[in-house]
Amino acid sequence: MSGPGPVTLVCRGVAAEWTRTAGRGFLWTVAVPLTFALPLVVTFGIAAVAERLATLPGQRFVAPVSTVNSVYWVMTFSVSVMMVTAAYAHGTQRRGRTSDLSTFLFPRAWTVALARWIYYGVIAAISTLALLVIVMVTLPHQFPELYGAVDITDSAGIRFLWTVPVYAFAACGVGIAAGSLVRAPSAAVAVLLFWVYVAESAMNLLPHGFTVQAYAPFLNAVAATGQQVAFQPRFGRNGSLLYFILVAVTLFLAAVVLPILIRRISGLRRTAVTESGGS
């Protein structure tokens, strides 16, 4: 009798992750609150100070903010928080008393990795969507002097509403890949943060740096959302978002699926050699 199929195992993995993280765990008491708190505090803190400066008599020197520059901190903080949370969660699967149980329940390791990508990716997508709505609706009402032009219904606002959640979902796949490749969960988090905040920004300092930087996946993803940045998307907006998704999928396959295939092929070869030697 054959075991459950991959779809069943992935669904079980999502349910298992929901059960594992329910209650007062790190995800719901730290990660998700930070996902909301960091961009909201920074966005509205900056907005309050800028609005105050703009309304001082004779001090109208602060340029108004358009929709394309209204949600930068959501992408900067929220996506990164959920991505490193996914990396840490997946990196800890090999530790603790439940590691053997996880192996027994999910003999196909890639199914639990995919389940975690779906689980954390959906949370990231829903969280960023909620934040986008909160920010783009609140800013023009609370800070009309500088943010009166922000409009969730214009072309830039509508683009943010679907591209940023897609970006957040795909970024969690990169996090799962990092959690698989880097054995220490804290090191996986450090690698991701260094990549996003240091490596990609510093690429232009290298010889032919601007050419190399044109392929930086996270910079392409941010530019693809419509956010106004100095970086020019390498493949156009939609193409750059697709490029980031392909990078996420490729890293996931290379980190999660490929090692399993290599181990299976090696096992089959050893079995074949043993059988041929015994005959």
- What is the distance between the alpha carbons of residues 279 and 276, in angstroms, rounded to a whole number? 5
Q: What is the mean pLDDT of the chain?
A: 86
Asked if residue 135 lies in contact with residue 119, where contact means CB atoms within 8 angstroms, the answer is: no
Beta strand ranges found along 153-202 (DSSP E): none
pLDDT at 272 over 70: no
Residues 188-237: tens digit of each pLDDT: 999 999 999 999 988 888 888 788 888 999 999 999 999 988 777 778 88
Residue positions counted in the chain: 279
Residues 134-174: tens digit of each pLDDT: 999 999 999 998 899 999 999 999 999 999 999 999 999 99
Q: What residues does each domain of the chain span?
A: 6-263
Mean pLDDT along residues 101-115: 67
- What is the distance between the alpha carbons of residues 152 and 139, in angstroms, rounded to a whole number? 10
- What is the distance between the alpha carbons of residues 76 and 74, in angstroms, rounded to a whole number? 6
How crowded is residue 227: how many other Cβ atoms within 10 Å of its Cβ? 22
Helix axes 185-194, 79-91, angle to 10 degrees: 150
Contacts of 217 (CB under 8 A, 6+ apart): 174, 200, 243, 244, 247, 248
Residues 43-61: tens digit of each pLDDT: 999 999 988 887 777 655 5
Contacts of 16 (CB under 8 A, 6+ apart): 105, 106, 112, 115
User: What does R_g of the chain's alpha carbons equal in angstroms?
Assistant: 22
